[in-house]
Amino acid sequence: MFFENMSVLSLLDKGGIVVIILILCSILSLAVFLERLKTFYGVRMKLIEEVKTKVRNMVMSGKISEAITFCDNFRVKFLFFKVPCPLNNVFKTILFSHKKDKGELSEIAMRAVDKEMVGLERYLGILGTIGNIALYIGLVGTVIGIMHAFKSMSIESAVGPSVVAGGIAEALINTIAGLIVAITSVIFYNGFTRQIKKLLVTFEDSAAEIIEIVKK
């Protein structure tokens, strides 16, 4: 029977080329998720507060150059990587330009914040695209499977469940694979984009706070 062997190789064989395409999409989606997870590890709220407190204390003590050095060198360990905190780039930009008037300094800071937001959004378009198209790719596989089922019916003189089982199996496997890839990719994408919206407010507030201290 077609559904007795549910091993990975069997599913690949029954699902055909569409399942292989969906597997490649899922691998790409997972790779982007893990890469972004590494980057977002450097913008955890607890870490941001820790960094902001240290920079604020240095600036209040008049240690501008030390604060810049801290922003340059700060890294947090994530598995085998050392991840920077993107907010430090905003602080560094402010500290480098601290002699400018407050209005100009605020504009410089906001441009730095926008730049870091663009960096955090990197590769998220891939997740969004996969989330949008995976379901349609699976639907193509579903249609192909149904077509194979009808083809088998037209060839065989005696029509029974065993005749159409192969095509139906192909259709169902492709449908399920498309749904799984689409749902997981959309979850990843939405999770990161929601975090970016929160970080935008946090970055802007943190920049404004450091500017107020610098210009006192």
Say what the pTM is. 0.81
Arithmetic mean of pLDDT over the chain = 83
Under DSSP, the state recorded for 161 is H
CA angle 165/167/170 to nearest 5° reads 105
Amino acid identity for residue 172 in this structure: L
d(CA 208, CA 216): 12
Express each pLDDT in 93-123 by its tens digit.
988 887 888 888 889 999 999 999 999 999 9
Q: How far is CA 12 from CA 105, 137, 152, 164, 166, in A?
A: 58, 15, 20, 18, 13
> With contact defined as beta carbons under 8 Å apart, do 132 and 178 qualify?
no
pLDDT tens string 22-81: 989 999 999 999 999 988 888 888 888 888 888 888 888 888 888 888 888 888 887 788
Predicted local confidence at residue 150, as pLDDT: 67
Q: What is the pLDDT of residues 183-198, one digit of tens each?
A: 999 999 999 999 999 9
Residue labelled with tokens 């050095």: 69
Provide the pLDDT confidence category of residue 3 given band limits of 50, 70 and 90: very low
